A = this chain, B = another copy of it.
Amino acid sequence: MNTQDKPHTTTRQKLIEAGTEEFYRKGYRQASLRKICAACGVTTGAFYFLFPSKDALLAAIVDPVLAQCAALTERLFQQELADPSCGPEIDRILTEFQYRYRREFFIIMEQCGGSSRENAKDLLQDRIARYFDQYFTQALGSPPDPELMRILVSLRVQGILEILKGEHTLEEAIRLSSAISHYADSGAQALINFIKSQAKGQSSPRG
């Protein structure tokens, strides 16, 4: 979709929209500022009046979503710790949020390389990891292997991303999301039991 002919839209908004599309499609480094500007019917000079750099455009696209995402996860995690039964409800809220910001999410997760936000994925995952840590510590009675947690978080996030990649309707996305949640939750639970059994076997070989 060419943004050039949208009236009542500021150039800044047009650049953000065109940039989102270009970054989503090609990634930060491969995206061409020239082409983003051309898609808006604007020169690169105009761009540099509105944004100090290519990186700043990416930030303008990605930061609001990151902020919302941070607030949302923080709230939902505390909610889930307080009442574990509301998991499915939380899943649905998250899926809807991610679905709404599909492209921005995808950019954050896979298309930031080379930009100042290339570590945003890690920050986000670290935040989730702290929650996973809490959960596993509680279940195991002792802190889990941080590396294992990192991988588990990464897989959880990757699952969401894969759903986003297939360009589904919201209902399909929710259905897949529920299946993947089931997979991940059960996997995590089984892993907890597995670790417990290993630990027991190791500490009391006779048991």
| A residues apposed to B, CB below 8 Å | 27, 29-30, 113-114, 145, 147-148, 150-152, 154-155, 158-159, 162-163, 166, 168, 172, 176, 179-180, 182-191, 194-195
Q: Is the CB of B166 within 8 A of A159?
A: no
Which B residues are in CB contact (< 8 Å) with A150? 162, 166
CB-based contact B179/A190 at 8 Å: no
Whether the Cβ atoms of B166 and A158 lie closer than 8 Å is no
The answer to whether B194 and A190 touch across the interface, beta carbons within 8 angstroms, is no
**Contacts A29-B29, A166-B147, A168-B147 known; A152 to B113 CB distance under 8 Å?**
no
Complex contacts, A184 vs chain B, CB 8 Å? 187
CB distance from A160 to the nearest CB of B (A): 10
Provide a sorted-by-A list of 8 A–B residue pairs whose CB atoms are within 8 angstroms: A147-B166, A150-B162, A151-B162, A154-B158, A179-B194, A186-B189, A186-B191, A190-B190
Q: Is the CB of A190 within 8 A of B183?
A: yes
Which one of B30, B148, B187 contacts A176 once the chains associate, using CB atoms below 8 Å? B148
Residues of chain B within 8 A of A168, CB atoms compared: 147
Residues on B with beta carbons closer than 8 Å to the beta carbon of A185: 190
Taking the closest CB of chain B, its distance from the CB of A118, in whole angstroms, is 12
The reply to whether B182 and A194 contact each other, CB–CB distance below 8 Å, is yes
**Beyond A184-B187, A186-B194, A187-B187, 7 additional pairs, beta carbon < 8 A:** A147-B166, A148-B179, A152-B183, A182-B187, A183-B191, A185-B190, A186-B191
